[in-house]
Amino acid sequence: AVAMAEGEGLVSVDYEVSGKVQGVFFRKYTQREAKRLGLVGWVQNTSHGTVQGQIQGPTARVRELQEWLRKVGSPQSCISRADFSNEKEITALEHKEFQILK
Protein backbone atom coordinates (compact mmCIF):
# COMPACT_ATOMS: atom_id res chain seq x y z
CA ALA A 1 0.00 0.00 0.00
CA VAL A 2 2.99 2.27 0.53
CA ALA A 3 4.02 2.38 -3.12
CA MET A 4 0.44 3.02 -4.20
CA ALA A 5 0.25 6.04 -1.93
CA GLU A 6 3.47 7.67 -3.09
CA GLY A 7 2.91 11.16 -4.44
CA GLU A 8 -0.66 11.03 -3.25
CA GLY A 9 -1.67 11.63 0.34
CA LEU A 10 -3.85 9.35 2.38
CA VAL A 11 -7.05 10.67 3.87
CA SER A 12 -9.55 9.46 6.41
CA VAL A 13 -13.19 10.52 6.27
CA ASP A 14 -16.30 9.53 8.23
CA TYR A 15 -19.63 9.11 6.46
CA GLU A 16 -23.30 8.62 7.16
CA VAL A 17 -25.79 7.67 4.48
CA SER A 18 -29.53 8.27 4.88
CA GLY A 19 -32.50 6.92 2.94
CA LYS A 20 -33.56 3.35 2.27
CA VAL A 21 -30.18 1.89 3.12
CA GLN A 22 -30.87 -0.89 5.62
CA GLY A 23 -32.02 -4.36 4.62
CA VAL A 24 -30.90 -3.81 1.03
CA PHE A 25 -27.36 -5.29 1.23
CA PHE A 26 -25.97 -1.75 1.42
CA ARG A 27 -23.11 -2.76 3.72
CA LYS A 28 -22.08 -5.70 1.55
CA TYR A 29 -22.02 -3.58 -1.61
CA THR A 30 -20.15 -0.80 0.17
CA GLN A 31 -17.52 -3.30 1.30
CA ARG A 32 -17.24 -4.72 -2.20
CA GLU A 33 -16.83 -1.28 -3.77
CA ALA A 34 -14.27 -0.23 -1.15
CA LYS A 35 -12.23 -3.38 -1.75
CA ARG A 36 -12.39 -2.82 -5.51
CA LEU A 37 -10.93 0.66 -4.95
CA GLY A 38 -8.31 -0.65 -2.51
CA LEU A 39 -9.70 1.28 0.45
CA VAL A 40 -9.88 0.32 4.12
CA GLY A 41 -12.32 1.24 6.87
CA TRP A 42 -15.68 0.00 8.06
CA VAL A 43 -19.43 0.21 7.59
CA GLN A 44 -22.32 -0.48 9.96
CA ASN A 45 -26.05 0.05 10.39
CA THR A 46 -27.10 2.59 13.02
CA SER A 47 -30.06 2.34 15.39
CA HIS A 48 -31.75 5.25 13.61
CA GLY A 49 -31.94 3.68 10.15
CA THR A 50 -28.80 5.07 8.53
CA VAL A 51 -25.52 3.47 7.52
CA GLN A 52 -22.28 4.94 8.81
CA GLY A 53 -18.59 4.24 8.72
CA GLN A 54 -15.12 5.43 7.87
CA ILE A 55 -13.07 5.33 4.67
CA GLN A 56 -9.29 5.56 4.45
CA GLY A 57 -6.98 5.48 1.47
CA PRO A 58 -5.50 7.58 -1.35
CA THR A 59 -7.50 10.80 -1.79
CA ALA A 60 -8.65 10.13 -5.36
CA ARG A 61 -9.95 6.66 -4.48
CA VAL A 62 -11.71 7.97 -1.37
CA ARG A 63 -13.42 10.58 -3.57
CA GLU A 64 -14.64 7.79 -5.86
CA LEU A 65 -16.24 5.93 -2.97
CA GLN A 66 -17.78 9.17 -1.69
CA GLU A 67 -19.43 9.66 -5.08
CA TRP A 68 -20.61 6.05 -5.01
CA LEU A 69 -22.09 6.53 -1.52
CA ARG A 70 -23.82 9.70 -2.70
CA LYS A 71 -25.30 8.40 -5.94
CA VAL A 72 -25.11 4.65 -6.37
CA GLY A 73 -25.25 2.39 -3.33
CA SER A 74 -26.70 -1.10 -3.56
CA PRO A 75 -29.21 -1.93 -6.33
CA GLN A 76 -32.24 -1.87 -4.00
CA SER A 77 -31.21 1.18 -2.01
CA CYS A 78 -32.60 4.68 -2.28
CA ILE A 79 -30.10 7.24 -0.98
CA SER A 80 -31.54 10.53 0.21
CA ARG A 81 -28.26 12.02 1.41
CA ALA A 82 -24.68 11.22 2.27
CA ASP A 83 -22.86 13.31 4.86
CA PHE A 84 -19.09 13.35 5.24
CA SER A 85 -17.20 14.65 8.26
CA ASN A 86 -13.90 14.61 10.13
CA GLU A 87 -11.83 14.51 6.95
CA LYS A 88 -8.12 14.56 7.70
CA GLU A 89 -4.82 13.64 6.16
CA ILE A 90 -3.20 10.57 7.70
CA THR A 91 0.34 9.23 7.39
CA ALA A 92 -0.67 5.56 7.58
CA LEU A 93 -3.83 3.50 7.24
CA GLU A 94 -5.45 2.74 10.59
CA HIS A 95 -7.38 -0.30 9.35
CA LYS A 96 -6.16 -3.55 7.76
CA GLU A 97 -9.20 -4.03 5.55
CA PHE A 98 -12.73 -2.83 4.94
CA GLN A 99 -15.02 -4.50 7.47
CA ILE A 100 -18.74 -4.79 8.03
CA LEU A 101 -19.33 -4.14 11.73
CA LYS A 102 -22.37 -5.45 13.53
For residue 89, the domain's CATH number is 3.30.70.100
Q: What are phi and psi of 4, to 5 degrees?
A: -60, -30
Question: Does residue 2 fall inside a structural domain?
Answer: no
Question: Does residue 63 fall inside a structural domain?
Answer: yes
Cβ(92)–Cβ(10) under 8 Å?
yes
Domain extent at residue 22: 10-100
Secondary structure letter of residue 75 according to DSSP: T
Question: Does residue 18 fall inside a structural domain?
Answer: yes
Burial of 1 (0-12, 13-18, 19+ CB in 10 A): exposed
Question: Does residue 36 fall inside a structural domain?
Answer: yes
The domain tally of the chain equals 1
Active-site positions? 27, 45
Burial of 24 (0-12, 13-18, 19+ CB in 10 A): middle
Bridge pairing between strands 78-90 and 10-20: antiparallel
Question: Does residue 94 fall inside a structural domain?
Answer: yes
For 23-80, the pLDDT digits (tens) are 999 999 999 999 999 999 999 999 999 999 999 999 999 999 999 999 999 999 999 9
